[in-house]
């Protein structure tokens, strides 16, 4: 299942997840969870605490080191230092750190999650980007912070794109299309990521490829195309394996992306 040249599938004791082979090559512990009966990441706080513990146990990590932002579709990216208690996680949609023990989390049910790693400066980032985050260029802001705060070189950064809604299912009205055109009109690739589709109930519909938009932003920042690794998995097309707000509405739970620099084996209780 989902085994490709870029992706590894893992069926753990309590959690099923996929990993990116490029990150595994560097020994980076990470995971993107599949839907399952044994875990529920749809809430913040104690409701999902046991689920996070199960995920950490699968990867032999200490859940006490989890850094979980309260995502609200912002452009805010925070850097995690020695003491995570110094960071306000409210209204945060991206985290960066070079601290080996910190575990960065993001959650989605269609939105794009980016796992970034700089193997030269030993810096990681975990970024949540729905269409609003994409229009605010949050992944661009994360890369700039990696460069400015940690000395990263764009050409060294690896960016892995987790399963998310794709152009085939991201249908919008005229207002969102016009907003997209106004923000990304600088590129000559506009026609390639906005497609005019059907008229429904008297309204013209459009499909937007937000993944492509982010790839363009990343390449414009200097990331090498070979270092932008896409899962190429649509959360709507594969709703039997991933959660999808577009398909399930308010009943949709959440999948989780985890990444850490921590490599030492951890044996919990």
Mean pLDDT within 162-176: 97
pLDDT at 17 over 60: yes
Distances in whole angstroms, Cα of residue 164 to Cα of each of 38, 107, 169: 22, 11, 10
Mean pLDDT within 102-121: 98
Q: What is the pLDDT of residue 268?
A: 43
Mean pLDDT within 227-251: 97
Q: What is the pLDDT of residue 266?
A: 44
Q: What is the pLDDT of residue 190?
A: 79
Pull the structure tokens for residue 254: 């959440």
pLDDT at 105 over 50: yes
Sign, CA torsion 209/211/214/218 = negative
The model's pTM: 0.95
Q: Answer whether 36's CB lies under 8 Å from 54's CB.
A: no
Mean pLDDT within 162-184: 96
Instruction: Kindly indicate the confidence band of residue 176, based on its pLDDT and cuts at 50, 70 and 90.
Output: very high
pLDDT at 269 over 70: no
Q: Considering the chain, what is the average pLDDT of its residues?
A: 94
Pull the structure tokens for residue 169: 């299912």
Mean pLDDT within 78-106: 92
Neighbouring C-beta atoms of residue 261, cutoff 10 Å: 20
- For 182, phi and psi rounded to 5 degrees? -65, -35
Q: What is the pLDDT of residues 33-90, one digit of tens each?
A: 999 999 999 988 888 999 999 999 999 999 999 999 999 999 999 999 977 777 899 9
pLDDT at 153 over 70: yes
Q: Answer whether 14's CB lies under 8 Å from 150's CB.
A: no
Classify residue 113 as exposed, middle or buried by CB count within 10 Å of its CB (0-12, 13-18, 19+): buried
Which among 268, 267, 229 has a CA at the least distance from the CA of 18?
229
pLDDT at 265 over 70: no
């Amino acid at each position: 299942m989902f085994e490709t040249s870029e992706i590894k599938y893992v069926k753990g004791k309590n959690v099923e997840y996929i990993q990116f082979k490029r990150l595994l090559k560097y020994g980076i512990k990470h995971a993107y969870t599949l839907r399952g009966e044994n875990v529920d990441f749809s809430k913040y706080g104690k409701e999902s605490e046991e689920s996070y513990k199960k995920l950490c146990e699968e990867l032999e990590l200490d859940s006490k080191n989890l850094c979980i932002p309260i995502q609200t579709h912002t452009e805010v990216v925070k850097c995690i230092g020695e003491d995570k208690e110094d960071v306000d996680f409210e209204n945060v949609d991206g985290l960066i750190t070079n601290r080996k023990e910190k575990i960065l989390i993001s959650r989605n049910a269609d939105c794009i999650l980016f796992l970034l790693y700089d193997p030269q400066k030993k810096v990681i980032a975990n970024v949540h980007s729905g269409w609003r985050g994409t229009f605010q260029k949050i992944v661009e802001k994360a890369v700039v912070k990696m460069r400015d705060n940690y000395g990263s070189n764009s050409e060294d950064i690896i960016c892995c794109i987790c399963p998310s809604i794709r152009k085939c299912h991201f249908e919008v009205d005229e207002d969102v299309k016009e907003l997209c055109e106004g923000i990304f009109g600088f590129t000559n690739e506009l026609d390639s990521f906005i497609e005019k589709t059907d008229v429904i109930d008297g309204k013209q519909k459009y499909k937007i490829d937000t993944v492509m938009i982010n790839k363009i932003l990343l390449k414009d920042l200097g990331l090498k195309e070979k270092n932008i690794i896409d899962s190429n998995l649509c959360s709507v097309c594969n709703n039997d394996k991933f959660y999808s707000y577009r398909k399930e509405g308010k009943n949709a739970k959440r999948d989780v992306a985890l990444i850490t620099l921590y490599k030492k084996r951890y044996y919990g209780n």
